Amino acid sequence: MIEKETNPQNDGTAISHKEPLFWGFGQIKFDRNFLLLLAITIIIFVVMSFLKPKVYPTSQNINSMAFQLSEVGILTIGMMFAMLIGGIDLSVNATANLAAIVSGLTMIKLMPGGLTEGPMGLYILLALIIGISIGALCGLINGILIAYVGIPAILATLGTMTLFTGLAVGITKGSAVYGFPEPFLYPGNGFFLGIPIPFIIFILLATIAFIILERTSLGFRIYMLGTNPKASKFSGVNNRSVIIKTHIITGIMSAVAGLVILSRTNSANADYGRSYVLVTILTAVLGGVAVSGGFGRIWSVVLAIFSLQQLSTGFNMLLFQFKGSNFFRDFAWGILLLLVMVINYYQSKGKQKFSFRKKPPLT
Amino acid sequence: MFKNLLNKTEFLVGLTLVVMSLIIGIINPAFFSIANLFDILRSATVIGIFAMGVLIVIISGGVDVSFTAIGIFGLYVTVKLLKAWQFEGSVVVALAIAGAIGLVLGLINGFFISRFKLPTLIVTLGTSALFQGFMLFFIGSDYIRDIPAGMAKFSMANLVTITQVDGSKSNLHAGVLILVAAAIIVFIMLKYTMLGRGIYALGGSRESAERAGFNIRKIEFTIYGFVGLLSGIAGVTFGSLMRQANPFSIVGTELDVIAAVVLGGASITGGRGSVVGALLGVLLITVMNNSLILLGIPSDWQKAVVGIILIIGTGLPAIQNRQAERRMNATLAE
């Protein structure tokens, strides 16, 4: 899928991070995976427009899709970070819900009855900061459990997922939090220069992720850790620090996703988005992220998000007369995931990839 | 010898269970009533049957999250079939049909995992969505409330009935027999067969197992087929106990079962685990879910408490591992 250049001296030493990892330094790098996904995205659009010419290629539909894909998209970016270091984060959705609930409750406590005077902007800002801090805190907890206590990522995030959801249920007593001030609802449902704001937030976060992953040393260390933890440790990478930072990033992304959902739906509850975790993993894998870590590029994942959203909307439109097109979509997701994995298998066989990982891949 | 016992995880889990039960019992003696104990056993039955299958997968180093989808698929299709044939006979037929369906679905899992060497978590995530989506879309999504006669009769099959002082009855449901049977079969399989040795070996180190001559493919097929079989049976048991077939039930409880198995001493990376431990883990989780309310913990906070217990329960063995590794590395250092 993706090839890394080895150190030209080929003596096994780490690449100095001044050398470009991928060719095409400075502009969008084109690798086969990206082009393939680009083709898939375009093909799906063309096919769907052909099948439903009156509804699909309309600006109304495109905007609707842009709104929908942003929530899961931001969550997927977070999941991608966790997967790149060879792990996983099952708690992304729980973190999103918890952050949304705490943030929402802050707004309600500070502005009972929705007052519309001066401090409101400040209060909303405070609530947003609190929400994102919760996300960072959740990520920190995950990072500590994985890096310092040594719990494998699946188990650690399984536990924290239960804990965060449990906290959310405890705080809200199971009911939903709702009723937020008008200006807060605007970003979730509004447009800026004709583009849905959640979509802008999503692309912004994807760009930030791109900068982190492919332009900073942290990103470099993330890829190194994901490829081979032992080698990265002996190359001087502080594995623990990278794990913690990565999970904090994932936590922040989850929190932002939660806040976007809060803004769009005007409510927050502990149970929202139960199937989201599966979708984010599917999307990441579709976008080329390796489950064992070390591989995966953000723009390919973004394209995967576009493709899956198109498919989801497409199924809805085509199967609209049968009840439960959602069920067919889940069925399709399952087949798709398996198909992609099998294709990856044949691809990697063709390239004779060697993996010198010491610990087995994340099952 | 006592030190040896202390180091065994199963002992620690059992100890935790006893201590927890004592604490709950002291605070609320109703915990020790026969009615409550029968209740706990009844709640633990379905999770227990699932756990026996999941235990095998985890020992082999894999993670299966599709077993609940297989369970409900088996239940739903079996119920639909039996109703279509207007079958009134014994529940054993239902169990057999569901078991067969589960076996086939499990073999699908086994196919993708062993043929393409795909990561088990991702494959089973995919097949979980696949099976459930297929069932809900192509077979049906309606709630079936009148289950076949055989299953309905089974739901009232009680081993022991005790009439309380106040006239109320407490029953020990016959479903526990299925759990006991499954536990015995898995125990024998793991301890006394080459297949069992192979499962432990596979979990310990796949490469070493291959070099030692185990047929990994055959083992994997068998593991996942067997889990499917058990899951189908668990599904029908669930349907009988609940006296209905709700296609949206069961799925979502996977993590409870995995937590139970892991708390019972099975290592998620594979190579360790036992039937006794898994059963103790199931009891632990069941007692937690059922009885936290007896402790006075409001039901709203129970999930959070379970989460903390999970984290502690997985964190402690992890820390122990680290210390053991550090000790080992210290002695191996030049």
The ipTM, to two decimals, is 0.83
Question: Residue B303: its chain A contacts at CB < 8 A?
Answer: 162, 165-166, 169-170
Say which of B206, B305, B311 has its CB closest to residue A360.
Answer: B206
Question: How many independent structural domains does chain A possess?
Answer: 1
Do both B193 and B323 map to the same domain? no
Look at the pTM and tell me if it is higher than 0.90. Answer: no
Asked, for residue B245, whether it belongs to a domain, the answer is: yes
Asked, for residue A59, whether it belongs to a domain, the answer is: no
Do both B138 and B245 map to the same domain? yes
Say which of B122, B206, B306 has its CB closest to residue A341.
Answer: B122
Do both B180 and B319 map to the same domain? no
Distance of alpha carbon A133 from alpha carbon A255, whole angstroms: 8
Asked, for residue B77, whether it belongs to a domain, the answer is: yes
**pLDDT value at residue A18:** 38
Among B65, B73, B116, B322, most A C-beta atoms within 10 A, so best to mutate, is B116
- B182 to chain A, closest Cα gap in Å: 25
Q: How many CB pairs under 8 A join A and B?
A: 159
The token pair that represents B264 in the structure block: 């019972």
Do both B223 and B324 map to the same domain? no
Do both B184 and B324 map to the same domain? no
Kindly provide the residue ranges of all beta strands, DSSP E only, lying in chain A, ordered along the sequence.
177-178, 191-192, 195-196, 267-268
Do both B258 and B334 map to the same domain? no
Question: Residue B267: its chain A contacts at CB < 8 A?
Answer: none
Asked, for residue A139, whether it belongs to a domain, the answer is: yes
CB within 8 Å: B125 and A282: yes
CATH number at residue A90: 1.10.3470
Q: A128: closest CA among A210, A184, A59, A85?
A: A184
The secondary element (H helix, E strand) that includes residue A328 is helix A325-351
Confidence check: pLDDT of B120 > 50: yes
Do both B18 and B79 map to the same domain? yes
Question: Residue B268: its chain A contacts at CB < 8 A?
Answer: 152, 154-155, 363
Asked, for residue B279, whether it belongs to a domain, the answer is: yes
Residue B212, number of CB atoms within 10 A of its CB:
11
Asked, for residue B41, whether it belongs to a domain, the answer is: yes
Do both B200 and B106 map to the same domain? yes
Distance of alpha carbon A335 from alpha carbon A341, whole angstroms: 10
Q: Which of A25-39, A80-94, B15-29, B248-262 has the highest mean pLDDT?
A: A80-94
The token pair that represents A100 in the structure block: 């949304």
End-to-end CA distance of chain B: 32
Among B114, B120, B125, B323, most A C-beta atoms within 10 A, so best to mutate, is B125
Confidence of residue B139 (pLDDT cuts 50, 70, 90): confident
CATH number at residue B235: 1.10.3470
CB within 8 Å: A155 and B301: no
CB within 8 Å: B136 and A324: yes
CB within 8 Å: A331 and B133: yes
Task: Pick the range with the lowest mean pLDDT from A177-191, B3-17, B78-92, B236-250.
Answer: B3-17
Q: Tell me which residues of chain A, numbers 270 to 299, contact chain B at a CB-CB cutoff of 8 Å.
A: 274, 278, 281-282, 285, 291-292
Asked, for residue B208, whether it belongs to a domain, the answer is: yes
Distance of alpha carbon A346 from alpha carbon A34, whole angstroms: 18
- B157 to chain A, closest Cα gap in Å: 35
Q: How confident is the prediction along chain A (363 residues), in pLDDT tens digits per residue?
A: 444 444 444 444 444 443 334 444 444 456 777 888 888 889 989 988 888 888 888 888 888 899 889 999 999 999 999 999 999 999 999 999 999 999 999 888 877 765 566 677 788 888 999 999 999 999 999 999 999 998 989 889 988 998 999 999 888 887 888 878 777 787 778 888 888 899 999 999 999 999 999 999 999 999 999 999 999 999 988 999 999 999 999 999 999 999 999 988 888 888 887 778 888 998 998 898 988 888 899 999 999 999 999 988 888 888 777 777 778 888 888 888 888 888 888 877 776 544 444 445 555
CB within 8 Å: B310 and A328: no
Domain span at residue B42 reads 9-296
CB within 8 Å: A170 and B303: yes
> CA distances (Å), A184 to each of A106, A111, A200, A264, A266, in order?
13, 12, 16, 9, 9
End-to-end CA distance of chain A: 20
Judged by a CB distance cut-off of 8 A, whether residue A245 touches chain B is: no
Domain span at residue A133 reads 32-53+71-320+339-350
Distance of alpha carbon B122 from alpha carbon A165, whole angstroms: 23
Helical residues (DSSP H) of chain B, grouped into ranges: 2-7, 9-27, 34-59, 67-84, 91-115, 120-134, 149-155, 175-192, 194-204, 206-212, 216-242, 254-263, 275-291, 302-332
In contact, B154 and B168? CB cutoff 8 Å: no
CB within 8 Å: A151 and B310: no
In contact, B83 and B272? CB cutoff 8 Å: no
Q: B35: closest CA among B132, B168, B146?
A: B168
In contact, A297 and A31? CB cutoff 8 Å: yes
Among A158, A275, A345, most B C-beta atoms within 10 A, so best to mutate, is A158
More confident residue, B179 or B305: B179
Asked, for residue A356, whether it belongs to a domain, the answer is: no
CB within 8 Å: A150 and B318: yes
Asked, for residue A3, whether it belongs to a domain, the answer is: no
**pLDDT value at residue A77:** 96
Confidence of residue B40 (pLDDT cuts 50, 70, 90): confident
Question: How many independent structural domains does chain B possess?
Answer: 2
Task: Pick the range with the lowest mean pLDDT from B6-20, B90-104, B119-133, B279-293.
Answer: B6-20
Say which of A88, A278, A338 has its CB closest to residue B112.
Answer: A338
Do both B223 and B332 map to the same domain? no
More confident residue, B251 or B50: B50
Asked, for residue B1, whether it belongs to a domain, the answer is: no
Question: Residue A170: its chain B contacts at CB < 8 A?
Answer: 298, 300-301, 303-304
Say which of B63, B130, B134 has its CB closest to residue A363.
Answer: B63
Asked, for residue A330, whether it belongs to a domain, the answer is: no
**pLDDT value at residue A28:** 47
Asked, for residue A143, whether it belongs to a domain, the answer is: yes
Question: Residue B118: its chain A contacts at CB < 8 A?
Answer: 341-342, 345
Q: Which residue of A has its CA nearest to B248?
A: A327
Question: Residue A169: its chain B contacts at CB < 8 A?
Answer: 300-301, 303-304
Asked, for residue B4, whether it belongs to a domain, the answer is: no
Asked, for residue A247, whether it belongs to a domain, the answer is: yes
CB within 8 Å: B128 and A278: yes
Asked, for residue A64, whether it belongs to a domain, the answer is: no
More confident residue, A229 or B302: A229
Among A93, A291, A327, most B C-beta atoms within 10 A, so best to mutate, is A327
Helix (H, G, I), strand (E, B) or coil at B163: strand
Q: Which residue of A has its CA nearest to B312?
A: A159
Do both B42 and B141 map to the same domain? yes
Say which of A150, A328, A334 has its CB closest to residue B322.
Answer: A150
Do both B151 and B272 map to the same domain? yes
CB within 8 Å: B255 and A158: yes
- B112 to chain A, closest Cα gap in Å: 8
Q: Tell me which residues of chain A, numbers 312 to 341, contact chain B at a CB-CB cutoff of 8 Å.
A: 322-324, 327-338, 341
pLDDT tens-digit readout, B66-93: 999 999 999 999 998 888 888 777 888 8
Say which of A154, A156, A338 has its CB closest to residue B126.
Answer: A338
Asked, for residue B81, whether it belongs to a domain, the answer is: yes
Do both B187 and B327 map to the same domain? no
Q: B132: closest CA among B73, B191, B91?
A: B73
CB within 8 Å: A337 and B129: yes
DSSP for residue A193: T
CB within 8 Å: B129 and A278: yes
